């Protein structure tokens, strides 16, 4: 058993570590590498072509580390880069590699959580404006009504360590009120941002008990378990010594490590890498 | 009169527009170009060498547009890149050009505002951790005691448009309480971040009336008036048709324009530029 063929988990920053945590808990035996493109984060405001360029550079770097399979644990990259990578890049350059995102696996199952057929989606401004979730969910659950709400202050509240303090209550209530005012019949709320699980207790506390709050990590992990069962040609190429390595494109790795442990729920040590293809 | 030799005003993003606004009001006759490196913002978490590289690339681009003089209207670039540019880059490559920052002009006069000789400095985590203000102020006012407080949520509150709404009060009060708890005798508070002037009314409302709240824009503009009087060899090279142009390294210029008008207090239209020297 070599540790040379890990599963790659990618995010523009550190939020993807909440998804990685869930994947690791459900599939602990494989080798993993995590890459955060913190040196170029946040991706949210950038154009389609820039997000595709950055994401593809990171994915190629993970392929070079031996990954047969890369998970884009990032809503922005999944919304704006994944299709081009799957349809244009991979067939030409890496036909035997696979790249999966977080939006489709979520869309495939989210309809199973609701009785009212009305769900809420909370995300960053970029994710909400992209309409990726309503569009993708309609493929699998055309009868569902999807209500969206952008929560632009939640990521800053989380990254500044205020997420579990009283001031955050105002902004949790503010965005939840704006969502629920769109339809009082919403009975399921999807956290469509990898940061938001850190606020999940406050979110639940501000909602009636019958409303389910769904984080993506467990859905994506369950979907990966299923994917590997259905694709033995990929699964058999994965090494499984249980190793985990963390990489970031931010040269201040200590800063990454300090923030990352909150999301990963245990201490970690990262290594700086330069993934740029066009700018070495 | 040619419009070919504007004053350059640089920031990592859009905050520098508050400084530019003040400069333009005090010196309306000159030509100006503003450059925001939004495509690579925020600078705060980046290393010294990266901040220097990015800033120097932007400064060189402004030199190429004809600027004899560039103002770094950015606390991070002023703290982490200006000295290297002034001492190493300019003498070798552009000995007849000048680059000025926002920290030294502020440090030169801030002591004139206080009677108690105790001042507070509010800034981003990066600015506070750099200790640039206490170090620089000590050169001019060694008797001053400088108390610092990082306000990590103020920039997100401003950029998400929440700065003039009730939820912001909590975080204005929080950071001001933490600052004032360091010394009740503080009688002058410096806003050492170019975003913070948008919060100035809330800040004043949360403080006793005798405490002065000082924004950097007017100080930096007054310092530039003085500098140009003392340096006619620079002043005479400036063109003065009253033109203003705005550039950003973010490819989504509409996004820049929408946010920028809040800081600049009037509508503007920007043009995308790629300033990279090593990565065309």
Q: CB distance B250–A171 less than 8 Å?
A: no
Domain of B50, in residue numbers? 7-101+218-272
User: What pLDDT, on the 0 to 100 scale, is given for residue B37?
Assistant: 96
Give the model confidence (pLDDT) of B230-272 as tens digits. Answer: 999 999 999 999 999 999 999 889 989 999 999 999 999 999 9
Please, what sign has the CA dihedral across residues A247, A248, A251, A255? Answer: negative
What is the interface pTM, i.e. ipTM, of the complex?
A: 0.85
| B105-138 residue pLDDT tens | 999 999 999 999 999 999 998 899 999 999 999 9
Same domain, A109 and A201: yes
CB A55 within 8 A of CB A90: no
Contact of A53 with chain B, judged by CB distance below 8 Å, is answered with: no
Q: Give the residue among B171, B203, B183, B170 at the shortest CA–CA distance from B120.
A: B183
Search chain B and give the residue with CA nearest A252: B47
A91 shares its domain with A229 = yes
* Residue at token pair 């003085």: B226
Q: Which of B216, B237, B256 is the last residue of a domain?
A: B216
Instruction: Answer yes or no: is B34 a known binding residue.
Output: no
Q: Measuring CA to CA, how many Å separate A266 from each of A3, A4, A89, A263, B185?
A: 22, 24, 35, 8, 42
In whole angstroms, give the CA distance from residue B34 to residue B71: 10
CA distance A279 to chain B (A): 5
> Does A49 contact B at CB distance below 8 Å?
yes
Tell me whether residue A279 is in a domain. Answer: no
> Mean pLDDT: which of A93-97, B90-94, B182-186 is highest?
B182-186
Q: Is B58 a catalytic residue?
A: no
Residue A280 lies in a domain: no
* Residues A98 and A224 both lie in one domain: yes
The pLDDT of residue A48 is: 86
CA distance B33 to B10: 8
Domain C-terminal end among A190, A216, A242: A216
B279 in any annotated domain: no
The residue whose two tokens read 């309809």 is: A111
Query: Same domain for B85 and B186?
Result: no
Burial class (CB in 10 A: 0-12, 13-18, 19+), B258: exposed
CA-based nearest residue to A206, from A234, A181, A179, A173: A173
- Per-residue pLDDT at A277: 78
Distances (CA, A) of A26 to A19, A222, A223, B115, B183: 11, 7, 10, 63, 52
Spatial separation of the C-alpha atoms in residues A236 and A246, rounded to whole Å: 23
DSSP code of B46? S
- The nearest CA of chain B is from the CA of A276 a distance in Å of 10
Q: Does B50 reach chain A within 8 Å, measured CB to CB?
A: yes
The last residue of a domain, from among B216, B237, B264: B216
How many domains are contained in chain B?
A: 2
Q: Is residue A277 part of a domain?
A: no
**Hey, of B41, B123, B152, B176, which one would you mutate to test binding to chain A, going by the most A CBs within 10 A of its CB?**
B152
- Same domain, yes or no, for B193 and B223? no
pLDDT at B278: 63
3-state secondary structure of A231: coil
| Domain contains A1 | no
Residues A26, A90 within the same domain:
yes
Residues B174 and B140 in one domain: yes
pLDDT tens, residue order, chain A (280 aa): 345 999 999 999 999 999 999 999 999 999 999 999 998 888 887 888 889 999 999 999 999 999 999 999 999 999 999 999 999 999 998 999 999 999 999 999 999 999 999 999 999 998 999 999 999 999 999 999 999 999 999 999 999 999 999 999 999 999 999 999 999 999 999 999 999 999 999 999 999 999 999 999 999 999 999 999 999 999 999 999 999 999 999 988 998 999 999 999 999 999 999 998 765 4
Cα-only R_g, chain B: 18
The string of DSSP codes covering A134-189 is HHHHHHH-TT-EEEEEE-TTHHHHHHTT-TTSTHHHHHHHHHHHHHHTT-TT--EE
In three-state secondary structure terms, B122 is strand
Residue B280 covered by a domain? no
At which residue do the structure tokens 């000789």 appear? Answer: B117
Question: Which residues of A participate in the annotated binding site for substrate?
Answer: 11-12, 43-44, 75-76, 194-195
Q: Is residue A262 part of a domain?
A: yes
Same domain, B246 and B119: no
Q: Tell whether A24 and A109 lie within a shared domain.
A: no
Residues A134, A77: Cα–Cα separation, whole Å? 17
SS3 at position A229: helix
Residues A97 and A223 in one domain: yes
With beta carbons less than 8 A apart as the criterion, state whether B74 and B35 touch: no
Q: What is the model's pLDDT at position B3?
A: 54
Which one is predicted more confidently, B71 or A161? Answer: B71
Residue B280 confidence (pLDDT):
40
**Token pair 């503010």 in the structure block, residue:** A174
Chain-chain contact of B39 with A46 (C-beta, under 8 angstroms): yes
The reply to whether B108 and B238 lie within a common domain is no
Q: Would you name the residues of A annotated as active-site residues? A: 74, 193
Minimal Cβ distance to B162: which of A45, A153, A252:
A153
Query: Residue A155's domain is classified under what CATH number?
Result: 3.40.50.1860
CA-CA distance, B12 to B15, in Å (whole number)?
A: 8
Residue B2 lies in a domain: no
User: What stretches of B118-166 show up as alpha helix (H) in DSSP?
Assistant: 125-130, 132-140, 154-159
> Are A31 and A238 a contacting pair, CB within 8 Å?
yes
- Verify that B130 and B198 share a domain, yes or no: yes
Please, what is the angle between helix A16-26 and helix A253-264, to 10°? Answer: 50
Cβ–Cβ < 8 Å for B103, B75: yes
């Amino acid at each position: 058993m070599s540790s040379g063929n890990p599963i790659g988990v990618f995010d523009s920053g550190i939020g993807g570590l909440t998804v990685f945590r869930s994947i690791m808990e459900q599939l602990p035996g494989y080798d993993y590498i995590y890459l955060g493109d913190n040196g170029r984060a946040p991706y949210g405001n950038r154009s389609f072509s820039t997000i595709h360029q950055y994401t593809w550079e990171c994915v190629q770097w993970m392929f070079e580390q031996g990954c047969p399979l890369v998970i884009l644990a990032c809503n922005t990259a999944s919304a704006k880069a994944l299709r081009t990578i799957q349809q244009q890049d991979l067939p030409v350059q890496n036909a035997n590699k696979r790249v999966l995102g977080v939006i489709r696996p979520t869309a495939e199952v989210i309809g199973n959580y609701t009785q009212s057929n009305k769900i809420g989606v909370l995300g960053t401004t970029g994710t909400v404006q992209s309409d990726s979730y309503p569009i993708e969910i309609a493929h699998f659950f055309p009868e569902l009504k999807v209500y969206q709400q952008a929560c632009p202050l939640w990521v800053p509240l989380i990254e500044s360590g205020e997420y579990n303090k009283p001031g955050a209550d105002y902004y949790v209530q503010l965005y939840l009120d704006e969502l629920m005012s769109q339809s009082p019949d919403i009975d399921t709320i999807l956290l469509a941002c990898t940061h938001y699980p850190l606020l999940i207790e406050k979110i639940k506390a501000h909602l009636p008990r019958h409303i389910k709050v769904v984080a993506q990590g467990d859905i994506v992990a369950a979907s990966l378990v299923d994917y590997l069962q259905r694709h033995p040609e990929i699964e058999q190429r994965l090494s499984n010594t249980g190793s985990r390595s963390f990489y970031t494109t931010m040269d201040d790795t200590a800063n990454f490590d300090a923030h990352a442990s909150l999301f990963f729920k245990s201490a970690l040590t990262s290594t700086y890498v330069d993934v740029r293809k066009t700018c070495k």
